[in-house]
Structure 1
């Protein structure tokens, strides 16, 4: 059985416990888990056409909550840049990859309630999969969250709590609620099962590219869940001898809210204890996270891969959204950040995720 493991102090906990953080340091859990066996390309044809086809690599199996998530198309944008269309997931964002893992785990633990916090996409995904699992769900979102996202959360039957203030205030409110007995905190940041869902993004790339990966994988980074999932997958594939090199991980942040990029450029291993002032507004609301709890892990993963951080201005985000729309892809403003950052690369192959549908936020003003 997998176990929760604190990367800071080594504390362990059973995954059947409704514990959402390390009781010693209150930090996020990792998962002590090893794939059950190596995959092979020849074993995959004929398997279920969802992320659950990579069952050897997943800490849960035989899900009852699946909505057919995963296996999104990979299409070329230029001679070197390709896009993975994760906005075609059931709730229109890549967060379904992790949300299905959280809802399936919660279903097996039978809590009295599920709570989650989000700037929108994770909340809609958790709401949808809790509906699928017949679990009562409350989602906390900051004021100013896109009305289309809050509408989607309500449509799935979740109770919506709109929190005055920013994303940090929203997380604090959800974590307070998560401490109540009988509560499962479906945190896409603190619960490592979410990361093991997002890592299937890279397993799909590996399969679709015939057993190899591109030179680089660019991902938008706020809390860093997709990047950390990618780091898990590349490490697992490399350890099993299924790839001979690990691609560089390119972390993209909005210039307006880029604490991790600043720490990376300063050579720091973590964020400073005090960050200057409140977060500035940005069109990339989904990655506007001033103090991500897994900052240390994100910085280490980028460095170990030989990757880097890139930042994009608001004008480049606007231009990238229109450019992708002109190519046939209507993507929300957070989801275009990577295209804004690497769209003109010509010297190496790179894959960018188109993480959320444009209908979730509309065109940038």
Structure 2
């Protein structure tokens, strides 16, 4: 029932808006929305009694009532990579990417709101996820992508029935093109960056770790960071589980050395991330020169006692091949975390602590790094 949906809330200026009628961004500051939603810690979480999907955490999700959109996403396995490091295999999701966690939330919300068409922008994986879940929900979908997007990923989007719009320029150009049509009548903008429902989907990544570890979390959560959708979802889950008495881990973000505005801002002690030039990198999924949620990402990492690391392309290439030799073929972006904290890293940022990192995109989408 849409009347029970929580409001959008701008964390910068306190602006509120009804999700059914709101513009796609805060009309005052132009920034991304958050949700005015906090799960009630008194309501028990009993995931084992729920479905084999992320909807098993329904008491912690902001969509009330029965859901209908699902591809049995989530509940991905964890695998040890060393004595104290586990990998969570999110490349085994239905579209081979962790982005399914957020896309299913957006598609279920859109289904309830009933738009004429759904619009998204992406450098690849998010667009494929939104396309798949729109297909599942019976919604028309249009995805704006940079002209250099992998043909394997655009073919995947088209296979799901989405209309793919190739935009000259980089990732920001695709976002601008989608934003230009986002407020047209009958359009639902399924932005994985600006729409906070996506973050409430990605937070299930941490809930699953909590469930798999018997009601606790590791000492460190290591995540790749571009727009920060997985890290911010993780921060939401950590805060929510903290209200249930679960000890909070440190959040360690990983950026490609070539495009690392958040790492630079973190090192400088800045609250905002200054835009950086867009440079080529193997980790294209996290090559975001000006992340719209940069302030939130920096604040979340600092609050957790974590840090933001960078890795060069040469090390990402090595890490992808190391993982493949262990039977785990993932995208270069997904290998970035192993590059930062695995045995081949130049330092030991984990300092002996237990950690979980995501292998969040399948190598079949991109091939081995050259």
Name the TM-score class by shorter chain.
over 0.9
TM-score (norm 2): 0.95
Task: Note if contact 1:189-1:293 (Cα within 8 Å) is conserved in structure 2.
Answer: yes
1:354 is aligned to: 359
1:341 matched to 2:340? The reply is yes
**Of 170-179 and 30-39, the range deviating more from structure 2:** 30-39
Task: Note if contact 1:101-1:194 (Cα within 8 Å) is conserved in structure 2.
Answer: yes
**CA separation in 1, counterparts of 2:29 and 2:253?**
27
1:29 is aligned to: 33
2:254 is aligned to: 252
Tell me by how many angstroms 1:46 deviates: 3.0
SS of 1:235's partner is: helix
1:8 is aligned to: 12
Tell me by how many angstroms 1:19 deviates: 2.2
Task: Note if contact 2:254-2:336 (Cα within 8 Å) is conserved in structure 1.
Answer: yes
1:317 is aligned to: 316
1:119 is aligned to: 123
Tell me by how many angstroms 1:220 deviates: 0.3
SS of 2:210's partner is: helix
Tell me by how many angstroms 1:44 deviates: 3.0
SS of 2:49's partner is: coil
Q: What does 1:148-167 correspond to in 2, within 5 Å?
A: 148-167=152-171
**CA separation in 1, counterparts of 2:204 and 2:116?**
29
Task: Note if contact 1:18-1:184 (Cα within 8 Å) is conserved in structure 2.
Answer: no
**CA separation in 2, counterparts of 1:136 and 1:7?**
31
Tell me by how many angstroms 1:128 deviates: 0.3
SS of 2:79's partner is: strand
1:53 is aligned to: 56
Deviation >2 Å, runs of 4+: 36-41, 43-46
Q: What does 1:187-198 correspond to in 2, within 5 Å?
A: 187-198=191-202
**Greater relative contact order (Cα < 8 A, sep 6+):** 1
Cα RMSD (Å) of the superposition?
1.2
**CA separation in 1, counterparts of 2:103 and 2:299?**
25
The partner residue of 2:134 within 130, 150, 162 is: 130
Gaps of 5+ in 2: 344-349
Q: Report Cα offsets for 1:241-277 as digits up to 9, x if no partner.
A: 2x1x2100000000000000000000000023xx35x
**CA separation in 2, counterparts of 1:333 and 1:164?**
24
Q: Report Cα offsets for 1:119-156 as digits up to 9, x if no partner.
A: 00000000000001111110001011111100000000
**CA separation in 2, counterparts of 1:25 and 1:55?**
32
SS of 1:123's partner is: helix
1:92 is aligned to: 96
SS of 2:254's partner is: strand
Tell me by how many angstroms 1:89 deviates: 0.3
1:283 matched to 2:282? The reply is yes
Q: Report Cα offsets for 1:341-363 as digits up to 9, x if no partner.
A: 01135611110000000011111
SS of 1:251's partner is: strand
**CA separation in 2, counterparts of 1:133 and 1:211?**
33
Aligned length: 359
SS of 1:131's partner is: helix
The partner residue of 2:180 within 171, 176, 182 is: 176
Tell me by how many angstroms 1:49 deviates: 1.4
